[in-house]
Amino acid sequence: MSMITVKNLRKSFGKVEVLKDINAIVQEKEVVCVIGPSGSGKSTFLRCLNRLEEISGGEVVINGQDITDNKININKVRQEVGMVFQHFNLFPHKTVLENLTMGPIKIRATEKSAAEKLAYELLDKVGLREKAKSYPGELSGGQKQRVAIARALAMNPKIMLFDEPTSALDPEMVGDVLEVMKQLAKEGMTMVVVTHEMGFAREVGDRVIFMDGGYIVEENEPNELFSNPQHNRTKAFLSKVL
Amino acid sequence: MDIISAAIPMLLKGLQVTLYIFVIAIILGFIIGLVIALLKLAPSKILNWIAKVYVDAIRGTPFIVQLFFIYFGVNSLHLVSLNSTTAGIVTVAINAGAYFAEIIRAGIQSIDKGQTEAARSIGFTGAQTMRYVVLPQAFRRMLPTITNQSIISLKDTSLLSVIGIADLTQQGQIQASATFEAFKIWLAVGVIYFIIIYLLTILANFIERRIQLR
Ligand SMILES: Nc1ncnc2c1ncn2[C@@H]1O[C@H](COP(=O)(O)OP(=O)(O)O)[C@@H](O)[C@H]1O
Ligand SMILES: [Mg+2]
């Protein structure tokens, strides 16, 4: 069953059309990486998948629910779709533990003790149990991003969206974050990852989508796309980043 | 000296009235300010406009005119009958509310958009996002300005004596004319105001330091 189905998606900011007729399908347990030059619409595409951006046209079906339909409860859908941002966006006034438990407690009315138990399990998973009582301000960039991933996982989502999760990190921090994401992919999480990490896309991605100028120019299995790109724009982009 | 020490209890009685009015008015004013700030940020032109008219009207008129408008003007309509204390509280609250609204709006807008996006992406509603994520952070940033405005409002309460409220300033007037010791009485009144405002500042600094520790 497909987890994400995007049909003829369009998105405009004012008069500027940023996404032009995007069509894409993501299957359950699939890891899809989105690459492309800056300004090509990768983030906007990702943000349309949980309606963080209002959608101008077309259809976006998430786990069977058309989120362009205004009658659906978008907050319910978002609980199933975790998102990880380039700049982490942890809640600085809450401890690491509270960052993880807030969603389950306030939204799902989970018992505090149960929420904390799950939070500690997730912190174990990202290797940060000992930081549970710290505030985000006391963490390094790589640690913040791993907490942000754990925070999204605390809602037990079916899909995880990543928007350049390692772009704001010092190089020596990137590995730890990618490692957590690899583990997640191995466990069968459905993932859409906007990234500049071509190594990650090649190794972990089931499919790579290349975007340019608001279009999906081409998509393929990683090895195929990287070694045998079909379009000139893909070739030009890859020659710069590989 | 005896005359003065006899006057002090009366001044402290006035201080009680001042503090009573101040505390109630500032709480009401904060609630008004929060509501107006949210109206100002709401995605509705009409609500934005209502909030703007309110804030502009209060900022563009003197406090004493607002006081007379509420106490004499509104009462003259015979729709409600406000006693002087109620009119005083309402005026200070409405006045502070407009200034709080601007402070709170600026505080909310100073919080990074990424905070709201993170909260919404987890599944928080707009209201939950405000309550659990944006306002707690905004409030920390606003505290110094909130304190400042509260001090201004406290000083504004001294104007309430003109509609006959027996506040600290009014008691000062009574005692000054009863004792013929204007210099000493008004010095004492000033010192009492100063101490209260000083304590308020210390309290605010204490709260600020406590939340900064995190
Ligand atoms: N909120 C916005 N308002 C106006 N234009 C925007 C907004 N967000 C993105 N854009 C524009 O949309 C285009 C695509 O942006 P984005 O999706 O962030 O690209 P990418 O993530 O691929 O770098 C860019 O030209 C950008 O300037
Ligand atoms: Mg981007």
Distance from CA of A37 to the nearest CA of B (A): 22
CA–CA dist B166, B170 (Å, integer): 5
B136 contacts A75? CB cut-off 8 A:
no
Task: Identify which of B112, B124, B140 has the shortest CB distance to residue A107.
Answer: B124
Chain-wide mean pLDDT for chain A? 96
Could you count the other beta carbons within 10 Å of the beta carbon of residue A160?
Answer: 22
Residue type (1 letter), B189 = V
Residue of chain B minimizing CA distance to A94: B214
State the Cα angle at A29 between A24 and A35, rounded to 5°: 45
A242 has a pLDDT exceeding 90 = no
Q: Strands A16-27 and A2-13, how do they pair? A: antiparallel
Which residues 74-133 of B are in CB contact (within 8 Å) with A?
112, 114-115, 117-125, 128, 132-133
Average of per-residue pLDDT across A230-237:
96
Atom of ligand 1 nearest to the CA of A163: 21
Reading the block at residue A75, the tokens are: 């907050």
Higher pLDDT, B180 or A150: A150
Is the Cβ–Cβ distance between A133 and A94 less than 8 Å? no
Please tell me the total number of residues recorded for chain B in this structure. 214
Q: Write the CA distances from A30 to A33, A92, B17, B154, B175, integer angstroms.
A: 10, 33, 69, 63, 83
What average pLDDT does range A105-129 have in this prediction?
Answer: 97
pLDDT tens by residue, B18-45: 999 999 999 999 999 999 999 999 999 9
Q: How confident is the model at residue B214 (pLDDT cuts 50, 70, 90)?
A: low
ipTM surpasses cut 0.85 = yes
Q: Closest Cα to residue A101, out of A87, A84, A78, A121? A: A121
- Do residues A24 and A4 make contact, with C-beta atoms less than 8 angstroms apart? yes
Give kind and range of the element (H or E) at residue B10: helix B2-41
